[in-house]
Chains A and B, each alone.
Chain A
Amino acid sequence: MNKILEKKALADNVYWYKVENPDIARARKPGQFLILRVHDKGERIPLTIVNSMPEEGSVEIIFQVVGKSTKLLAELNEGDHILDMAGPLGTPTHIEKYGTCVMVGGGIGIAPLLPITRGFKEKGNKIISILGARSKSLLILEEEMRNCSDTLHVATDDGSYGEKGLVTDVLSRLCRSGEKIDYVVAIGPVIMMREVSKLTKEFNIRTMVSLNPIMVDGTGMCGGCRCYVKGESKFACVHGPEFNGHEVDFDRLAIRLNMFKSSEKLALDHECKINRG
């Protein structure tokens, strides 16, 4: 169980794993995540399930190295086992035919966006994708996204690939071009999701975002992932992770995401010290 079948580096510090877990592979739907633990004293970390292959009993995950736990995960290799994997968690994406859908993904947020885009494409939607990254070397899944999109735009902050600028610049141009857009999905950094939602609100386009707050159990038990939607407290793990972008309080989400920043640094420093022996 949980054997790493394949490992690829997608960009600097971004990895793709194919992991054996027939039960999760069978039950998983787009939009869902899993929680894993790398070692005995490890944290529980939530990661999107990017794809599942029920026939071969495996799932794909993508992660970026941001702290100690993801660093340890990245040190595993093909043939190694991930200690614990629980999932699928979260409410699956509601997929239906809306018409023309714009899929906006920023940075590592393109990973959760991919399975949703595939689901929307299969339902017969016209797909326009906009991918953003800080620079070319950090852009992931371009080919996979292109394969399930009718049109694909890329924007990089430094202009090293695609057009120079932000995903919202492209989206804004699309909105103003007169193209009828029925639905927008935006997944990425909090600021990106906030700006996309602001823009689509102006144009009155339904918008769905996927949130990734701090969680411990992922089943509705700890309440650490509470976020504020339409002024009400919701648990991202059970009520979400997807919410109406026009109703999410992004500023409060950003604040809560920073809560354990100092500890993350501490854990990483501790790890480095131990490794230096």
Chain B
Amino acid sequence: MVDSTKRPVMPQQKPEDRIRNFDEVPLGLSLKAAREEAGRCLQCKKPLCVEGCPVNIDIPGFIAKLGEKDLKASGRILKDANCLPAVCGRVCPQEDQCEKMCILGRKGDPIAIGYLERFVADYEREHFDFSIPEIKCEKKDKIAVVGSGPSGLTCASQLRKMGYQVTVFEAFHVAGGVLVYGIPEFRLPKTIVAKEIETLEKMGVEIKCNQVIGRIKTIDELFEDGYKAVYIGVGAGFPVFMDIPGEDLNFVYSSNEFLTRINLMKAYDFPNYDTPIITGKRVAVIGGGNTAMDSARSALRLKGVEKVFLIYRRSEEEIPARIEEIHHAQEEGVEFMLLTAPVQYFGDESQNVKKARCIKMELGRPDTSGRRRPVPISGSEFEIDIDSVVVAIGTRSNPLISQTTPELEVNKWGYIITGEHTMTTKEGVFAGGDIVTGAATVILAMGAGKKAANAIDEYVKIGK
């Protein structure tokens, strides 16, 4: 007998197996389990889950079609609102969004919307010819999208559906932004990202790689090339270091470098791939966000790594990563050192990092972020032996575009200032995602891309 208050358990690779590979950890629901879960949905008249979704997917709609076993229709509903459902079904923090709003959550488990989204998107990819959203009327106007991360891809997809001629400019040699360089294979297989991007290309979106806007072309030059509007969705990819002594030692990496080497350049498969990564046996990851969890779990999977520490200055209460990621990291054997911060690193005669001096923290009064501020406990310093460090304490804005576009106003952190309708201080230039908000989630960046697409449509139609 199925307990109607419980959601299905996601089958996954066992911890002892998965730390030896980079394959995806959750394996996906069976059709039977997915349909049973769909059957629990109350099909609310005023669905709160939809309000909780930054891109307003018709959640009861796609779940109903799944229940009716019409997977094609279900997939189409997802794609209407979200061009990357297989991605979002995996990396969205559903527990803080759609699922948090689900009525069933008051007395039992909310509907596992994320699992179902993933199921439908995967089913469609594996069983049907890819459905390409229909372009109703072709327009002549060209729009440039800078950055092919979740925000840029969403904006491009929406504009293309409206009929615009869209070109996406990507700096790397592969499209996808943080989905390819940041999020690891075991959480988001790169073949899935590639497939979603292929759909965009089949819709007629042009994707140009190896194009660093701000260098190869300025925003003004894009207008000279005939683009009617420009969307900037370049993310916040400039790594932040702590500025403590010893951070310049060898094998102290930013999480960006560490993850880019592993995910984009496939350093875990060195020397089959040419890009190396060196960690030694003991790795310390600094930070408590999803990037820190990704770094720690990636480190565990590398050849020769025996021990991974995750050093975070606040307690488990404040840790910003998703609960699921924290659980996975703990199951896999990452050692959490909470209420702890590094104060200095020491190296050997070759200047390779060998030791971290840390200090214990206690929580004081709440700071401006509303979280209790960590305060060092004097005399609590201690040292741990390590062979490498990954600094995952956040990122800030990359100055490349703002520096070469004088009319573009930025705030004191370098993030682009936009008005209500995502237009920047420069006419015809729109922006969204992390480059406006600072580092946030995939789905919020997608929400911004969608909003900007509507604003760009208005702008091109009426010229403001």
Contact = CB atoms under 8 A, between A and B. Distances in A.
Interface in A222-256: 222-224, 226, 228, 233, 238, 252, 255-256
Nearest to A226: B248
A117 to B, nearest CB: 23
Q: Which of B239, B247, B275 has the most CB of A within 10 A?
A: B275
A15 B72 CA distance: 55
Contacts, number: 120
Contact of A259 (B241, B250, B275): B250
Interface stretch (B21-29, B266-274, B429-437): B266-274
Interface in B399-419: 399-400
Q: Which of A44, A83, A262 has the largest count of B CB atoms less than 10 A from its CB? A: A44
Interface string A251-277: 010011011101110110011000000
B275 A219 contact: no
A41 B215 contact: no
Contacts of A223: 239, 241, 253-254, 256-257
Q: How large is the interface on B (under 10, 10 to 19, 20 to 34, 35 or more residues)?
A: 35 or more
Contacts of A121: none
A89 B172 CA distance: 12
Interface string A77-119: 0000001111111000000000000000000000000000000
A42 interface: yes
Nearest to B243: A233
B455 interface: no
A89 B211 CA distance: 10
Contacts of B274: 41-43, 68-69, 267
Contacts of A27: 215-217
Contacts of B350: 255, 258
Interface string A36-48: 0100011110000
Given A219-B398, A255-B250, A256-B250, A86 B271 contact: no
Contacts of B266: 41
Interface string B241-261: 101000110110110110011
Q: How large is the interface on A (under 10, 10 to 19, 20 to 34, 35 or more residues)?
A: 35 or more
A44 B265 contact: yes
Given A23-B216, A85-B210, A220 B398 contact: yes
A190 interface: no
Of listed A27, A222, A267, A271, residue having the most chain B CB within 10 A: A222
Given A43-B274, A43-B275, A256-B250, A219 B400 contact: yes
Given A41-B266, A68-B274, A222 B260 contact: yes
Closest 7 CB pairs of A and B: A263-B276, A222-B257, A270-B271, A86-B210, A223-B254, A223-B239, A84-B173
Interface of B: 171-173, 181, 209-212, 215-217, 237-239, 241, 243, 247-248, 250-251, 253-254, 256-257, 260-261, 265-266, 270-276, 278, 350-351, 398-400
Interface of A: 23-24, 27, 32, 37, 41-44, 68-69, 83-89, 216-224, 226, 228, 233, 238, 252, 255-256, 258-260, 262-264, 266-267, 270-271
